[in-house]
Structure 1
Amino acid sequence: MISIIMLVGFFALMTGIGLWGMGRTKTLGDFFLGGRTMGPWISAIAYGTSYFSAVLFIGFAGKQGWLFGLNALWIALGNCLIGAMGAWLVLARRTRRMTQNLDTMTMPEFLQERYGARHLKPLAAAIIFFFLLPYSASVFKGLGHLFEAVFHISYDVALLLMIGFTGIYLVLGGYFAIAMTDLIQGAVMFIGAIAMVLVVYSRGGSFITTLGQISQNYAAHIPPQAQPSLMTILSVVFMTSFGPWALPQMVQKFYAIKDEGMIKRATVVTTIFSAVIGFSAYLVGTSAHVFFTPDSLPKTASGAINFDLIVPLLLTRLLPELLLAVILLLVLSASMSTLSSLVLVSSSSVAIDLYPGRVEEGTGKDRSIAMMRFLSALFVIVSYFISRYQFDVIVTLMSLSWGAVAGSFGAAFIYGLFWKGATKAGAYAGMLSGLLAEILLFYLLGPAQSPLAASLAMLIPFAVLPLVSAFTQKPDKILLDRAYKGL
């Protein structure tokens, strides 16, 4: 009963914020970037809540916590220092300044204007659409199963509830509503994550005692030949830490910050938030070695370990009802924030990057906002059907998503920010080499080695782009002067 009351209150608050945000959304820039008026706390928490979702808390923490043991904490450290702090220190100022210089709002727009490449924008928009939309559906799917287990309602009803409320506040208020709800959701995540670790580890005796039991039991549960290699650990750390540097839904947070003077404060807030959330998730995941044995782990129908159920079962067994309700809101908060950012970026790939009426004044802008709202709603509905009917091709796209998007955009985006010698041909070559490398390596190495495939797909374009740029036509000086003004 407590969980239901808190859930109803949470949904009512999200809907109210959506209505409030609707009144503040007058232009397309307001809808997509909040008018570039976001303060450091809002921007930092928005970045953190978009970074972590149900995929981390439910599936990834359970799987890596069991298979990696305490080595999973290296993932949390990498996410904190590279994925959060490093991204803000290295990318935030230049991204905000250059996107303003070029008058761009999206990753595809930025790439087109920075390289003077007319066909780069539709190519980038297509990559976003085909790989981020299925990824958003996978988050909906994880949430639906969690609600099915906790509230004992059908998966379909749970899925409709999640999609319905996410769609309401996103479609009404756009990025402003997302940012404001992120602030509230971030507070829930921060408090809930700390409480979750304290309670779980107290059930093992104490924090230090539980860590010792994890280390001892891991050696007994996972034989040496089954333990991950150093390369496997490094590839997971690299994929999850460096990948966000090129994901459009993450980079968008740099576009929207109010002024560059706020970046230092936002960096500190993001780093602390990411450290608490990341370490909490993996500490709970690794504690499975204290509360489960290999024989008692949840299994699928085929007899394989069901990693998605490890953390939910652990929490339902160990946490009191009130704290379990808070943790449920934690997972919901993380996921709704990630989902809304994914849907906003996916819909922008059509409404902003491919819709010709956006640049017009007056009624043209009104049509763009209406188109953005319509597509956001449409993409939420499409996410429902993808989540409900797990088509084989969609499942494959979900598995490829991070590597494909980060591999396609990483080199072109980062070289574009820092190196005037990066050429249009180099950008095309970098994007296509990253995308093709991810697809090819994914099938050659197999799904079990997908982090290694994604890591290589991110790295290869950093060699391809400068190589091609060295032998192709240099960028226009006027374009470069405009892009790098003030940098």
Structure 2
Amino acid sequence: MTIKITVVVLYAVMIILVGLISAGKTRSFSDFFLGGGNIGPWMSAFSYGTAYFSAVLFIGFAGKIGWDFGLSGLWIAFFNAFVGVLAVWAFLGWRIKKMSMEYGVSTISEFLEKRYQSPLLKLLSACVIFVFMIPYSAAVFMGLSYLFTVNFGIGYEHALLFMGGLTAIYLVMGGYTSMARIDTIFGLIMTVGVLILLTSTMNKGGGLLSIIQALRDIEPTLVQTVGPPGWWPLFSLIFLTSAAPFAMPHLVQKFYAIRDRKSIRSGMIASTFFALLIGGIAYFVGSTTRVFMTPESTPNAFVDGSPVFDRLMPELLTNVIPEPLAVIILLLVLSASMSTLAALVLVSSSSFSKDFFAGFIIKDLSDRALTTMMRGMSAFFVFLSVLLAYLNIDSMVAVLGISWGAIGSFFLGPFLWGLFSRRVNRHGALFSGIGGLSLCLILYIQGLPSPQAGTIGMMASLLFNPLVSFFFLPPERICRKDGQGHGERPGIPQVR
């Protein structure tokens, strides 16, 4: 216990020191929010990957999906790596950076406003980000707090306060520059951590073949191509987690901040490998919960004989990992979570400060005042997330699912079509954003599981924009970004 406490304290000191060093180089809004738009490939790759994977994966998602789907959960890791990472970097990376320079924008909401000439779309975008990223961030805090409770025996609320305070301190001081530097360290810790996790799990289970046989003995479908719940629940999880990154604001922001096209090519390879390693090991280890855990051997993970999914992985990690290495796994989950939290907080604070307040309330807000507001809103967003996590209203998987689904349902249609097509217009964009989000929420309220509600909402969002733009309303003749066009449609820069 003393070793764990010492390592966590040193870890916290390191984070604060990086924040202090970065604070001296953060003098403008661009520095705070985008690192001056000059972040290199390795920092960008680790920043993207660590923002993609958080404590929700290692604590809630991997446990629930592994328990329900068995080895077929590995399909999620495969598509996350090659669609949610590789395809995003390959097809969107440079195009997003190019667009940010062409339109002179630094947020996804600003891009949608200028692409569609619609202040309303910008306002709605800012609201969606601020509202639905709070539960997403809360889910991450919940995962961290469960882990701290298991490892240190401290109260859930005390763990929340500690993690919330630490996140707020280093982010408020250094902004994106601080986050990108720390994410590189976090990424290295996560890489070492998952390798230790895989090795320990294999040793505990007697090797891969023994684990597969044990799963087959429990339930033969756990080792089949599609696990017990069936293809539709599995597909919805794959689509939700792999397609949403094409328009998730906190992941899109990474390309606004990256240095150049060469950095995108290098970062694409590194981030894909990182995602395959992290996701593959997490979902594989999650499948072994059926092998290692029963109500008799791990009673804390069960209630009346039924598994509590948010407790499965914390209990598994405690029982599988050798005591001398347990602190590395603790740092693994800490690193995964804090990087995601920082990305969510930064984008959410920008949605209020830059997109809403400076966009609609005081349009001539100075750069210094905007940066100060960003710092204050970052701290406030952490507070709201901690408060929601304290209320503990639902499981982490449900919270994450509805957050990703809602955000993806609003942004996917307007953002992707806006990047690639000249003919979609603001009517299609508004209909696809509002319609996709509404459909997602209605289905969820009616009882459809959050991944499935999110998947249907995202598909609808992609479909609505071209349908409304092409067939129900004539393509609108609106000016280019400089306001001096002659009835032209918005320009889409040629990406070479």
| TM-score, structure 2 as length reference | 0.92
Task: Tell me the CA shift for residue 32 of structure 1.
Answer: 0.6
Stretch deviating more after TM superposition (177-186 or 292-301): 292-301
Q: Deviations over 1:284-337 (max 9, x none)?
A: 111122212476565555653111111111121121223110000000100000
Aligned to 1:134: 135
1:89-104 alignment runs, 5 A limit: 89-104=90-105
Q: How many pairs align?
A: 484
CA distance in 1, matches of 2:337, 2:141: 8
CA distance in 2, matches of 1:16, 1:185: 15
Contact 2:406 2:441 in 1 (8 A): yes
**1:465 matches 2:465:** yes
Contact 2:478 2:490 in 1 (8 A): no
Stretch deviating more after TM superposition (470-479 or 92-101): 470-479
Contact 1:408 1:430 in 2 (8 A): yes
The SS at the match of 2:409 is: helix
CA distance in 1, matches of 2:223, 2:265: 42
The SS at the match of 1:258 is: coil
Task: Tell me the CA shift for residue 254 of structure 1.
Answer: 1.0
Q: Say if 1:168 and 1:483 are closer, same or farther in 2 by CA, change over 3 A.
A: farther
Aligned to 2:338: 336
Task: Tell me the CA shift for residue 162 of structure 1.
Answer: 0.4
Stretch deviating more after TM superposition (382-391 or 33-42): 382-391
Amino acid of the structure 2 residue aligned with 1:411:
G
Q: Say if 1:226 and 1:482 are closer, same or farther in 2 by CA, change over 3 A.
A: closer
The SS at the match of 2:480 is: helix
Task: Tell me the CA shift for residue 155 of structure 1.
Answer: 1.4
**1:269 matches 2:252:** no
CA distance in 2, matches of 1:266, 1:280: 21
**1:368 matches 2:370:** yes
Contact 2:295 2:305 in 1 (8 A): no
Contact 1:70 1:215 in 2 (8 A): no
Aligned to 1:434: 436
Amino acid of the structure 2 residue aligned with 1:245:
F
Aligned to 1:407: 409
Q: Say if 1:485 and 1:399 are closer, same or farther in 2 by CA, change over 3 A.
A: closer
Aligned-residue CA RMSD (Å)? 2.5
The SS at the match of 2:205 is: coil
The SS at the match of 1:472 is: coil
CA distance in 2, matches of 1:271, 1:398: 22
Q: Deviations over 1:451-485 (max 9, x none)?
A: 12111111112221111112234242534787433
Contact 1:445 1:453 in 2 (8 A): no
| TM-score, structure 1 as length reference | 0.94
Aligned to 2:190: 189
Which segments of structure 1 move beyond 6 Å, counting only runs of 4 or more? 220-223, 357-361, 394-397
Stretch deviating more after TM superposition (210-219 or 79-88): 210-219
Q: Deviations over 1:54-111 (max 9, x none)?
A: 1000111011111101101111101111111111111101111001111111111111
CA distance in 1, matches of 2:210, 2:147: 30
CA distance in 2, matches of 1:117, 1:349: 16
Contact 1:130 1:397 in 2 (8 A): no
CA distance in 1, matches of 2:400, 2:78: 25
Amino acid of the structure 1 residue aligned with 2:411:
F
Contact 2:55 2:337 in 1 (8 A): yes
1:265-304 alignment runs, 5 A limit: 265-293=266-294, 296=297, 298=299, 299=301, 301=303, 303-304=305-306
Contact 1:48 1:273 in 2 (8 A): yes
Aligned to 1:201: 202
Aligned to 1:10: 11
CA distance in 2, matches of 1:132, 1:95: 21
**1:485 matches 2:493:** yes
Aligned to 1:79: 80
Task: Tell me the CA shift for residue 134 of structure 1.
Answer: 1.8
Task: Tell me the CA shift for residue 213 of structure 1.
Answer: 2.6
Amino acid of the structure 2 residue aligned with 1:118:
P
Q: Deviations over 1:201-232 (max 9, x none)?
A: 11211233323333333328899x99111111
Aligned to 1:309: 311
Q: Where in structure 2 are there 5+ consecutive unaligned residues?
A: 482-487
Amino acid of the structure 1 residue aligned with 2:455:
S
Q: Deviations over 1:140-171 (max 9, x none)?
A: 12211210110111112111110111111100
Q: Say if 1:382 and 1:69 are closer, same or farther in 2 by CA, change over 3 A.
A: same
Stretch deviating more after TM superposition (424-433 or 381-390): 381-390
Stretch deviating more after TM superposition (300-309 or 229-238): 300-309
Contact 2:79 2:238 in 1 (8 A): yes
Amino acid of the structure 2 residue aligned with 1:425:
H
Q: Say if 1:77 and 1:222 are closer, same or farther in 2 by CA, change over 3 A.
A: closer
Amino acid of the structure 2 residue aligned with 1:120:
L
Q: Where in structure 1 are there 5+ consecutive unaligned residues?
A: none
CA distance in 1, matches of 2:433, 2:110: 15
Aligned to 2:484: none
CA distance in 2, matches of 1:22, 1:472: 50
Contact 2:422 2:490 in 1 (8 A): no
Task: Tell me the CA shift for residue 190 of structure 1.
Answer: 0.6
The SS at the match of 1:420 is: coil
CA distance in 1, matches of 2:398, 2:81: 28
Q: Say if 1:476 and 1:417 are closer, same or farther in 2 by CA, change over 3 A.
A: same
Amino acid of the structure 2 residue aligned with 1:13:
M
Aligned to 1:173: 174
